[in-house]
Amino acid sequence: MSWNEEWAAAATCKQSRPDELFVRGAEQHKAKVVCAGCPVRAECLAEALDNRIEWGVWGGMTERERRAVLRKRPNVTSWRALLAAAKEAHLGTSSVTA
């Protein structure tokens, strides 16, 4: 499976109500379950990291988790490129372009 440019249309959460994904505390764990089997989890996470989205669960990560990732890798200029390359390596394909 290659990088999905139209990832939002394929997202598992598109069937959910937005208020189920933009929650606080323990409710975030329930929201992350929605992401667990999503086919476009990496694309969603890249969107949140590249755009510094500060609220909600995106790509299976809470805002706190995303902030931690951003602090650990402050020099990444394109999370989309990084995650696309990782997805390509994991899947053993060469059809992904960043």
pLDDT tens readout for residues 39-64: 999 999 999 999 999 999 999 999 99
pLDDT score for 98: 44
pLDDT, position 2 = 65
Give residue 93's pLDDT: 60
User: Is 44 known as a binding-site position?
Assistant: yes
Residue 20 lies in a domain: yes
pLDDT the model gives residue 91: 78
Mean pLDDT of 27-48: 92
In a domain, 50, yes or no: yes
Q: Domain residues for 35?
A: 10-91
Nearest to 44 by CA among 75, 65, 13, 89: 13
In whole angstroms, give the CA distance from residue 17 to residue 40: 18
Q: Which is nearest to 44 in space by CA: 1, 77, 83? A: 83
- Is 13 marked as a binding-site residue? yes
Tokens of 15: 């069937």
What average pLDDT does the segment 72-87 reach? Answer: 92
Domain count, the chain: 1
Residue 29 lies in a domain: yes
Asked if the structure places residue 54 within a domain, the reply is yes
Per-residue pLDDT at 27 exceeds 70: yes
Q: Does the pLDDT value for residue 70 go beyond 50? A: yes
Contact between residue 20 and residue 31 where contact means Cβ atoms under 8 Å apart: yes
Q: Binding site annotation covers 38?
A: yes
> Residue 3: inside a domain, yes or no?
no
Mean pLDDT of 68-96: 85
Give the Cα separation of 1 and 14 in Å (integer).
Answer: 20
Give yes or no for a contact between 63 and 54, defined as CB atoms under 8 angstroms apart.
Answer: yes
Is 70 exceeded by the pLDDT of residue 37?
yes
